[in-house]
Amino acid sequence: MQPSTPISESIQVLHVDDDPDLVELVATVLEREDERLTVETASTVADAIARLDEMEIDCIISDYEMPGRNGLEFLETVRTDRPDLPFILFTGKGSEEIASDAISAGVTDYLQKEIGTEQYTLLTNRVINAVERARAEQAEQRQLRAIETAQEGISILNADGEFIYVNEAYAALYEYDRGEMLGAHWSLLYPDQDTQSMRETILPAVRANGFWRGETTGLRADGNTFIEDHRLATTDHGELVCTVLDTTEHRRQKQAIEELHSTARAFIQAETAEEVAEITVRAVRDILGMPANGFHRYDETDDRLVPVTWTDRTEELVGEPPVFEPGDGIAWKAFAAGEPLVYDDIATNDDRYNPDTPIRSQLVIPLDGRGVHLIGSPEPAVFDETDVSLAKTVAAHATAALERVERERELTRQNERLATFTNIVSHDLRNPLTVAIGRLELAQEACDCPHLADVDQALTRTETLLNDLHAFAQAGTVSLDPENVDLTTLCRACWGHVQTGAATLVIDTQQVIHADESRVQELLENLFCNAVEHGGDAVTITVGDLEDGFYIADDGPGISDENKDLVFDYGYSTSQDGTGFGLSIVQEIGDVHGWELRVTDSDAGGARFEIHNVETSGT
């Protein structure tokens, strides 16, 4: 036991005596003797018991002779519920018989009343000492309970290297009963070739430094060995405290996690739910070493769990896995609850789907409303905490992959609908628009009407809108065909495709980027047109390099701070003739490439569009 240390906390004392003047005097003197003491009083045992129920008391001082029940009867009542509460019998009726009875009843201390105040100094010391001992014992009991319930193996050796204490975890680790280990020498637990290293290297290091930690080889009762994480520390009394943890499971878990990281790439690349299921089942079988497992997908249409894929071992044990309807078995129970279920033996579980199943251990992990992953074994109590943790990790990867597949499938459907819509609009409107433009030309030749010019302008704008609408839809839906693109060559080609008037292009880049050339051409042409549209025919446009991309800058009027967050929004345009599609198309093309677009001011005070996260041919 560790030596007790002086207490600094307050001490609540209950003094019970049928003499009101005496209890008042004792309370006053004790509180004056030591400021940590606070004394409550009671004149009968009944009052004292009521006080005990109302407040926390650290020590009782009680007289012997009192009306109703005496001090020893009070002590007996206290010990029923509070066996460790310090109880001091402070009585004027002194006799060897009473003292003997008090000690037998479990009194903490016995003190006879005397004349004078010196006795109260002694009483104060007795109270403080009793509370110090009680609190130290309580702390030690808490420590022992913590040691007993610790997952690590903990033992204490005396100076001769013999076990004087082992907790359950320590004994179980080496597969001994605790009684077998007490009194045995530590060499019992190590192979002969390792005991010399312990004696000559490890133990001297502990004595010199007071502590040592490292890996040693433990020897179990059946002769098998294992690698253990071993910590040794000395106490003030020359004892040696040993803490041991079997690293076998830790190493297995670490290795499995490392292998699961490589599986994560396969999850990311999976394109269908069936692929996700196959990767999940294979990972649990091959990496986690659980040969009997299967994957059920939730069918929203029919409200049931349908088997997707399973291992050969699963089919050997249970045949082809069944379809689970609502309420069927443990699988549906876990799916509905959304929480993993682990059973050491489902043979005794009424929720099992098949009463005759050879499966004993069962682990069912739900996949966030998308299905369940069932893992079984014909042996009972197979799955430990590590197994459950690793299986949940695989399930988390599978759930994320299923969510991504669903999201991409829905996005594909939306893109297909959008492409169909834009194609219909472009095709069905272009024909009547062509007819209208042709008829307008005939009308302008036949008559001189001032309204025809407005009609011409409206039809021209409509044609531009149709072209931009089609380009905008295609920018985000057409699949990419990336290749190495020389930015200088492409910029010159794009400059020749757009109406630039007297504008000037300065190319200050040597980059070769890896991208879809046709998409980049659209991006550059839209940015060039935007610069000319807002900067005028005399504008100078510069294309330059960034660390991770390139920029297009001009010396035009620039973009105000309040509009920089809006320029890529569909419909945004400061020009009366603009359609608001141009920069939206730029944003879409950047998004499908995974680029980041930023708008800032150029050195000349105009607009500067920066394209970041661009892959170059050298990266």
The CATH number assigned to the domain holding 508 equals 3.30.565.10
Q: Is residue 454 part of a domain?
A: no
Q: What is the pLDDT of residue 408?
A: 82
Q: Is residue 576 pLDDT above 50, yes or no?
A: no
Helix and strand numbers, DSSP H then E, in the chain:
18, 22
- Does residue 234 sit in the same domain as residue 299? no
DSSP string, 466-478: HHHHHHHHHHHHS
Domain stops at, among 96, 128, 146:
146
Domain that holds residue 369: 290-401
- Does residue 85 sit in the same domain as residue 140? yes
Q: Is residue 30 part of a domain?
A: yes
- Does residue 133 sit in the same domain as residue 32? yes
Give me the amino acid identity at 359: I
Phi, psi of 536 (to 5 degrees): 90, 175
CA atoms within 13 A on the CB side of 548: 8
Report the C-alpha gap between 446 and 561 in whole angstroms. 51
Q: What is the sign of the dihedral through the CA atoms of 435, 437, 441 and 446?
A: positive
Q: Is residue 187 pLDDT above 80, yes or no?
A: yes
Task: Please write the tens of the pLDDT for every residue from 101-110.
Answer: 777 778 888 8
Helices (H), 304-372: 312-318, 329-337
**Residue 185's pLDDT band (cuts 50, 70, 90):** very high
Report the C-alpha gap between 203 and 211 in whole angstroms. 9
Query: Exposed (0-12), middle (13-18) or buried (19+): which is 227, by Cβ within 10 Å?
Result: middle
Report the C-alpha gap between 365 and 337 in whole angstroms. 10
- Does residue 127 sit in the same domain as residue 187? no
What is the pLDDT averaged over residues 38-65?
91
- Does residue 500 sit in the same domain as residue 603? yes
Q: Is residue 449 part of a domain?
A: no
Q: Is residue 512 part of a domain?
A: yes
Q: Is residue 579 pLDDT above 50, yes or no?
A: no
**Residue 409's pLDDT band (cuts 50, 70, 90):** confident
Task: Please write the tens of the pLDDT for every residue from 265-317.
Answer: 788 888 899 999 999 999 999 888 899 999 999 999 999 999 999 999 999 99
Task: Please write the tens of the pLDDT for every residue from 553-566.
Answer: 999 988 888 878 77
Let me know: does 370 contact 277? Beta carbons within 8 Å.
no
Q: What is the pLDDT of residue 322?
A: 95
Domain stops at, among 116, 146, 176:
146
Q: Which residues contact 209 (CB under 8 A, 6 or more apart)?
A: none
Task: Please write the tens of the pLDDT for every residue from 334-352.
Answer: 999 999 999 999 988 888 9
What is the pLDDT averaged over residues 384-406?
89
Q: Is residue 441 part of a domain?
A: no
What is the pLDDT averaged over residues 375-389?
91
Q: Is residue 218 pLDDT above 60, yes or no?
A: yes
Q: Is residue 383 pLDDT above 80, yes or no?
A: yes
Q: Is residue 299 part of a domain?
A: yes
Q: Is residue 7 pLDDT above 70, yes or no?
A: no
Helices (H), 150-272: 168-174, 178-181, 192-197, 203-209, 248-269
Which has more pLDDT, 140 or 85? 85
- Does residue 21 sit in the same domain as residue 139? yes
- Does residue 119 sit in the same domain as residue 47? yes
Q: How far is CA 298 from CA 354, 373, 402, in A?
A: 20, 11, 11
What is the pLDDT averaged over residues 24-29?
89
Most confident of 311-320, 428-437, 587-596: 311-320
Q: What is the pLDDT of residue 567?
A: 77
Q: Is residue 174 part of a domain?
A: yes
CATH number at residue 57: 3.40.50.2300
Q: What is the pLDDT of residue 145?
A: 60
Report the C-alpha gap between 573 and 601 in whole angstroms. 18
Q: What is the mean pLDDT of the chain?
A: 84
Q: Please count the structural domains in the chain.
A: 4
Domain stops at, among 109, 129, 146:
146
DSSP string, 46-81: HHHHHHHHHS--SEEEE-S--SSS-HHHHHHHHHHH
Report the C-alpha gap between 341 and 375 in whole angstroms. 11
Sheet holding 153-157, edge to edge: 163-166, 153-157, 240-246, 225-234, 211-219
Task: Please write the tens of the pLDDT for every residue from 476-520.
Answer: 555 668 899 999 999 999 998 888 888 999 999 989 999 988 889
Q: How far is CA 55 from CA 165, 216, 290, 352, 402, in A?
A: 37, 51, 56, 51, 58
CATH number at residue 370: 3.30.450.40
- Does residue 154 sit in the same domain as residue 212? yes
What is the pLDDT averaged over residues 471-475?
56
CATH number at residue 161: 3.30.450.20
Q: What is the pLDDT of residue 300?
A: 92
* Residue whose pair of structure tokens reads 């009944």 in the numeric block: 46
- Does residue 69 sit in the same domain as residue 173? no
Percentage of the chain modeled with pLDDT above 70 = 86
- Does residue 140 sit in the same domain as residue 180? no
Q: What is the pLDDT of residue 95?
A: 65
- Does residue 140 sit in the same domain as residue 187? no
What is the pLDDT averaged over residues 186-210?
89
Let me know: does 340 contact 374? Beta carbons within 8 Å.
no
Give me the amino acid identity at 11: I
What is the pLDDT averaged over residues 149-158?
75
Q: Is residue 360 pLDDT above 70, yes or no?
A: yes
Q: Is residue 543 pLDDT above 90, yes or no?
A: yes
Q: Which two tokens stand for residue 466?
A: 């149709």
Percentage of the chain modeled with pLDDT above 90 = 35
Q: Is residue 212 part of a domain?
A: yes
Q: Is residue 91 pLDDT above 70, yes or no?
A: yes
Report the C-alpha gap between 270 and 282 in whole angstroms. 14
- Does residue 489 sit in the same domain as residue 555? yes
